[in-house]
Amino acid sequence: MHVVFLTLALLTVSGISSLISRIGRIPVPLPLIQIAIGAVAALAGLKIGFDPDMFLLLFIPPLLYADAYRMPMREFGELRNVIIMLALGLVVFTTLGCGYFIHWMIPPIALPAAFALAAVMSPTDAVSVGSMIEGGRAPARVVHILHGEALLNDASGLVCFKFAVAAAMTGIFSFQQALGSFMFMSAGGIIMGVLIAWAACRAEHVLLVRGYDDPPTHITLAMMLPFAIYLMADAMDCSGILAAVAGGMTVKFTGVMNEARTETRLKATTVWDMVNFTFNAVIFLLLGLQLPDLVTEGARIARQGGVSPWFLILAIIAIQLSMSMMRFVWIWVSITARRLFAHVRHRQTVIPSARTILIMTVAGTRGAITLAAILSLPIATATSAGFPGRDLLVTLAAGVIICSLVLASVTMPPLMAGMQTDEDDPALRELDAMRIELAQTAVQTLHAEQAALAHHEIDHDADEETVDLKQEAISRLLHEYQDSLKRLDNTAAAQSGIRATAIREKRAELALRFHVIRHMRERLHLRVMQRRINDETEATINQELDFIEQELQIEAHSLPRQAAGDHADTAAH
């Protein structure tokens, strides 16, 4: 009963925290509000144990899987060099630079332990990054880079952390072994994620082809897939995090969701949105619940060391500033190198402004992975000495997490203020262009149907009344789609209504609408294959078509049943 109560309490507070943020119009990012609520709940007596392994298994796979599924693949491919430089190069640079800085500032922390602390703080957090830039005016390229970096740098950071911990515990470190282990864990995780996700998609394809498309069953099994990928990769000593990311991208690349029923896609989108919101909220609530104990422990450690607790606060701020400075330098150097490389090869490249570099710098917040990893350090027992200085490292890491979130919440709004990116966003331009092209496709399809009907190529046995009804339906649909083209061209026009009393005409119209949507989907998929639009645009328009199709299906089911002489296919999808 205690576990059930805690679960219900966390879910309830997750919803309440969002209401507090919206109703109160508090100018603070939602993650910080949730951390504050968790801290207040802990002070009020709510205590929840924190199992790092259980935390990683329960929350990280579905969230990273969903983020990877939503990552625009075209932009990910175009920005892969920048993302890899941040996800791999910056992690190593931060681990070394910040490790030496921590050891210099706090000499009692041995150098291997300092490297372990720096390594665990080097990965940015996908959850907090998304929360900070969501709804803002950050350029689309910056958003894609930050999301891609957060998806991939967890593995490199955890590998560095693992070997730093081993060096601190045993005093032995092998660069060749570390490099080999990193390559095995990374490549193995990616391969495992791709293979398992591909096999699951093939199995799902077979089931869909045979007509087994029950939305609850499909969604339940789809939600279990990231956990299965993570556990199987972890069992092979590979990176479960990279496996979950690779699995999400593989499922998106196969396009198996497009084969499912419209009802399944709509319900799946709703369920994943709910899971994403709830898990994000619970992560920050759990962080807040641990905060009072971590602060108390930090004060105790400071007193035992004969220093003021304010020294720990200053140390946390210094560590955060040093990491931000190293991140800024790395991004600036990377951009400079990219500019020089493009100049040598006589190629054009996008050079971000100084404000954009600052946004990328402060958006590198820390979160769930850092907390879970640092809490996984061995605890001293009667038979084991534990990790040297564990309590101090946990306190510093937790402080840096909070400090990074506060820094981002304070600096991001003024940095993004006044940025006008919507008009120049290529994704929005191609979205409008694709909508116009789809409307033109609908007009062309209806003209073809009209010409075929005029020559009696659709149904040679159709009576004159049926032909007239279809002609009227085609005329009305032509007017509607031509009206859509006018609206997209920013000219006001009125859309004609549909006569509710003409039931047979309505059936003909619905059949034509389904026919048009089918051609729209084919054209949309063709443009994706030709790489003229990205899969993010495809997903947006597919969702719009799903809602339209679902509404048409509801209208078709609400019509009276056809008489024996009617054509059954006019109301079918």
391 and 530 share one domain: no
Considering its fold, how many domains does the chain have in total? 2
Residue 497 pLDDT grade (very low, low, confident, very high; cuts 50, 70, 90)? very low
Q: How much is the pLDDT for 131?
A: 62
271 and 222 share one domain: yes
| Residue at 569 is within a domain | no
Q: Which residues contact 194 (CB under 8 A, 6 or more apart)?
A: 246, 247, 250
> Average model confidence (pLDDT) for the chain?
80
Q: What is the pLDDT of residues 162-219, one digit of tens each?
A: 888 888 887 777 777 777 887 888 889 999 999 999 999 999 888 888 888 788 888 8
| Residue at 92 is within a domain | yes
For residue 551, pLDDT beyond 70 = yes
248 and 328 share one domain: yes
Q: How much is the pLDDT for 421?
A: 52
The C-alpha angle with vertex 104 and arms to 102 and 109, in degrees rounded to 5, equals: 60
For residue 564, pLDDT beyond 60 = no
For residue 98, pLDDT beyond 90 = yes
Q: How much is the pLDDT for 324?
A: 93
Contact 357, 328 (CB under 8 A): yes
For residue 392, pLDDT beyond 50 = yes
Q: How much is the pLDDT for 166?
A: 82
| Residue at 436 is within a domain | yes
Least confident range of 6-15, 96-105, 174-183, 306-315: 174-183
CA–CA distance, 6 with 11 (Å, rounded to integer): 9
Q: How much is the pLDDT for 422?
A: 46
Contact 193, 233 (CB under 8 A): yes
- DSSP structure string for 191-256: HHHHHHHHHHHHHHHHHHHTT---HHHHHHHHHHHHHHHHHHHHHTTS-HHHHHHHHHHHHHHHTG
| Residue at 81 is within a domain | yes
Q: How much is the pLDDT for 232?
A: 95
440 and 413 share one domain: no
Residue 484 pLDDT grade (very low, low, confident, very high; cuts 50, 70, 90)? low
Q: What's the domain range around 521? A: 427-457+465-489+503-558
**Per-residue b or e along 395-416, where b marks 16 or more CB atoms closer than 10 Å to that residue's CB:** bbbbbbbbbbbbbbbebbeebb
404 and 448 share one domain: no
pLDDT higher for 560 or 397? 397
| Residue at 567 is within a domain | no
Residue 133 pLDDT grade (very low, low, confident, very high; cuts 50, 70, 90)? low
Token pair in block for residue 414: 């003024």
Give the pTM: 0.74
Using a pLDDT cut of 70, give the percent of the chain over it.
84
Task: Output Rg (C-alpha) for the chain, integer angstroms.
Answer: 28
Using a pLDDT cut of 90, give the percent of the chain over it.
13
Contact 31, 279 (CB under 8 A): no
520 and 389 share one domain: no
CA–CA distance, 490 with 196 (Å, rounded to integer): 47
Identify the top-confidence range among 144-148, 341-345, 403-407, 426-430.
403-407
pLDDT higher for 458 or 358? 358
Q: Quick one: CA torsion of 308, 312, 318, 320, rounded to 10 degrees? A: -160
Q: How much is the pLDDT for 88?
A: 87
Residue 320 pLDDT grade (very low, low, confident, very high; cuts 50, 70, 90)? very high
What number of CA atoms fall less than 13 Å from residue 454's CA on the CB side?
8
In one-letter notation, the amino acid at residue 422 is D
Q: Residue 82 belongs to a domain with what CATH number?
A: 1.20.1530.20
Q: What is the pLDDT of residues 19-34, one digit of tens each?
A: 887 776 777 777 788 8
| Residue at 387 is within a domain | yes
Exposed/middle/buried for 521, CB within 10 Å: 0-12, 13-18, 19+? middle
Identify the top-confidence range among 175-184, 270-279, 411-420.
270-279
For residue 266, pLDDT beyond 90 = no
**Per-residue b or e along 222-244, where b marks 16 or more CB atoms closer than 10 Å to that residue's CB:** bbebbbbbbebbbebebbbbbbb
CA–CA distance, 156 with 321 (Å, rounded to integer): 22
| Residue at 143 is within a domain | yes
Q: How much is the pLDDT for 456?
A: 63
- What is the Cα 328 distance to its own chain's centre? 24
187 and 269 share one domain: yes
445 and 401 share one domain: no
175 and 272 share one domain: yes
Residue 427 pLDDT grade (very low, low, confident, very high; cuts 50, 70, 90)? low
The C-alpha angle with vertex 562 and arms to 561 and 567, in degrees rounded to 5, equals: 145
| Residue at 495 is within a domain | no
Exposed/middle/buried for 354, CB within 10 Å: 0-12, 13-18, 19+? exposed
Phi, psi of 40 (to 5 degrees): -65, -40
CA–CA distance, 69 with 24 (Å, rounded to integer): 33
Token pair in block for residue 275: 């899971």
pLDDT higher for 47 or 522? 522
Contact 281, 18 (CB under 8 A): yes
Contact 145, 431 (CB under 8 A): no
184 and 277 share one domain: yes
47 and 80 share one domain: yes
Q: Give the closest residue to 352 by CA, choosing from 537, 148, 140, 533.
A: 140
Q: How much is the pLDDT for 243?
A: 92
CA–CA distance, 290 with 200 (Å, rounded to integer): 38
- DSSP structure string for 28-94: S-HHHHHHHHHHHHHHTT------HHHHHHHHHHHHHHHHHHHS-HHHHHHTHHHHHIIIIIHHHHH
The C-alpha angle with vertex 408 and arms to 84 and 95, in degrees rounded to 5, equals: 45
Q: How much is the pLDDT for 341?
A: 77
Q: How much is the pLDDT for 533?
A: 85
Residue 555 pLDDT grade (very low, low, confident, very high; cuts 50, 70, 90)? low
What integer is the mean pLDDT of 83-94?
89
Token pair in block for residue 28: 């603070």
Question: In this structure, how many other beta carbons lie within 10 angstroms of the beta carbon of residue 505?
Answer: 18
Least confident range of 20-29, 78-87, 233-242, 309-318: 20-29
Residue 489 pLDDT grade (very low, low, confident, very high; cuts 50, 70, 90)? low
Tokens 């509404």 appear where? 551
198 and 345 share one domain: yes
